[in-house]
Structure 1
Amino acid sequence: MTKPGAKPYLTTRNIEPENQETPIHFLRSDTIDYPYFYKRNHFPYPALTALHYFLPIIGLVDSPVLFSLRDIMNMPSKTIKAVLECSGNKRNLFEPKVFGEQWEKGAISQGTWKGVSLKTLLAASGIREEAAEVVIEGHDFGERKDLDNVYAYARSLPLNKALHPDTIIAYEYNGRPIPFKHGYPLRLIVPGWYAMASVKWIKQITFIDSKFAGPFQTIDYVYYPNKTNDEQAFPVTGIHVNSTIQKPLNMEILNTGTNVIKGIAWTGKGRITRVGISFDKGETWVDTELKNEHNAEYQWVSWSFTWFVTEKGEYTIMTRAADSCRRVQPMTPFWNRKGYGYNAIDTIKVKVE
């Protein structure tokens, strides 16, 4: 029997570096408390403090700038509620299977981030005309065995994304300083893109005049459609339209009568406009009831459906989300060699007794 007030745990995928899933099926809030926010790391946690923390902006700029943490916190702030989803979320569901952390459905979380628009910081340095990309480097680093060398975690953004007013350098999460394991003291937040772009523990920002060639840009976080070669590869960027059933659990036993089915849906472009549910393996679909869909840019939408069932037996439940950009979850995912961007129609099975 579950004890009153019992709480779920994160699901551990790896200990060193630490990679843990959010217990997404057991959380009902649209804001995830930081103890339940999923953890995705490539390297051990860096050793740094905020005591002597400075953020340089260098490279192809008119005037290199060095910001203190206090400088940044005294600038006009912006608050954004946004989904952060690992691009490998649901990797475990790909068929045929792919290598990598075998995330199930919990490499996703959501909360409220407060910080300064990256555009505001970049404007202070003056951007030279030949600048093409902005490289954001974190303090975390380590050895990559595939390259037999040590690298820092670094990613680039094209100028149009870096200068978008909603791309922010965040210093708070849910009204408190960002927890150390999630990027304290400063973390980049790129709403609408998979979370590999939201670099933690920012060390420096550099303008360059070409495409960034770091391994986390050109080897990892790339869609490889072919199993044996790199032809037709292209980068991972925006979040695909997606949905997850939170209640009931897969393979759960239900009673006849009224059962409430609940879940979330999200997208990286526009807003969620519809979540359909099917009990006949996709032959017919019925709309679910959406919550907060009208003001949910960058956020997931909670949905629910009241299911009255009188016949005992085994059932397949499927959900399919659509967004305002006319994107719809596919029946089958776009298979790729590294297992990114899984967004096929969500499916569970239940038994009614």
Structure 2
Amino acid sequence: MSSAYRIPDNDCVCVTPGAPKGATRPIKRLNVRSFVTRPAEDAKVAAHVAFEVRGIAFDGGHGVEAVLLSADDGASWTAARLGEDLGRYSFREWRTELSLRPGVHHLKSRAVSRVGQSQPLAPLWNHAGYMQNVVETIRIEAV
């Protein structure tokens, strides 16, 4: 391969918006990351009735140690149940059950790797947008 996707050559692979690019290095590993895959964004669920939340997580090859889920916009976190570990670079399924009071809720999932890396709560910026792994949020409504 004669070229590679390149990121800032520092620990956070980030720079301040508007700063010059500076030294870069090729991407060699993915950051730890997780996604909520069910329910969908803007889904409506029955209030006070348990429903399943599912998703996937992955990292750069160390392995996913845990996935934490927040239903109160990050004020508190609960561990999800991890699915089978299918190997170093595989997605790892996760799931948990929630029962919510009526209203709008913001679900966040946060993966933690076996070497202690976790998703940041605020995005880390770089010119190309590579390696983004900020905790993502989906909105659901309990009715």
Q: TM-score, normalised by structure 1?
A: 0.37
Other-structure match for 1:253 = 44
**Structure 1 gap ranges (5+):** 1-154, 156-213
In angstroms, what is the RMSD of aligned CA positions?
Answer: 1.6
Is 1:284 the equivalent of 2:76? yes
Residues 70 and 108 of structure 2 are in contact (CA less than 8 Å); yes or no, is this contact kept in structure 1?
yes
Give every structure 1 segment of 4 or more consecutive aligned residues whose post-TM-superposition deviation is greater than 3 Å.
none
Q: Tell me how far 1:296 sits from its aligned partner.
A: 3.0
Residues 278 and 318 of structure 1 are in contact (CA less than 8 Å); yes or no, is this contact kept in structure 2?
yes
Other-structure match for 1:313 = 103
Residues 21 and 127 of structure 2 are in contact (CA less than 8 Å); yes or no, is this contact kept in structure 1?
no
Other-structure match for 1:223 = 7
Matches within 5 A, 1:157-172: none
Q: Tell me how far 1:236 sits from its aligned partner.
A: 1.7
Structure 1 distance, partners of 2:135, 2:118, is 9
Other-structure match for 2:32 = 241
Structure 1 distance, partners of 2:81, 2:62, is 19
Structure 2 distance, partners of 1:308, 1:252, is 14
Other-structure match for 1:121 = none
Question: What does the per-residue CA deviation read over 1:260-316, in whole Å, with 9 as the maximum and x for residues that have no partner?
Answer: 0000000113111100001122121100011113x532111100011122x210000
Other-structure match for 2:116 = 326
The one-letter code sitting in structure 1 at the alignment partner of 2:64 is: I
Q: TM-score, normalised by structure 2?
A: 0.86
Residues 269 and 325 of structure 1 are in contact (CA less than 8 Å); yes or no, is this contact kept in structure 2?
no
Question: What does the per-residue CA deviation read over 1:165-214, in whole Å, with 9 as the maximum and x for residues that have no partner?
Answer: xxxxxxxxxxxxxxxxxxxxxxxxxxxxxxxxxxxxxxxxxxxxxxxxx4
| Number of residue pairs matched by the alignment | 135
Q: Tell me how far 1:351 sits from its aligned partner.
A: 0.9
The structure with higher relative contact order (CA 8 Å, sep 6+) is 2
**Structure 2 gap ranges (5+):** 9-14
Q: Tell me how far 1:228 sits from its aligned partner.
A: 4.8
SS at match of 1:223: strand
SS at match of 2:50: strand
Question: Per residue, is there more helix in 1 or in 2?
Answer: 1
The one-letter code sitting in structure 2 at the alignment partner of 1:222 is: R
Question: What does the per-residue CA deviation read over 1:100-131, in whole Å, with 9 as the maximum and x for residues that have no partner?
Answer: xxxxxxxxxxxxxxxxxxxxxxxxxxxxxxxx
Matches within 5 A, 1:146-161: 155=1
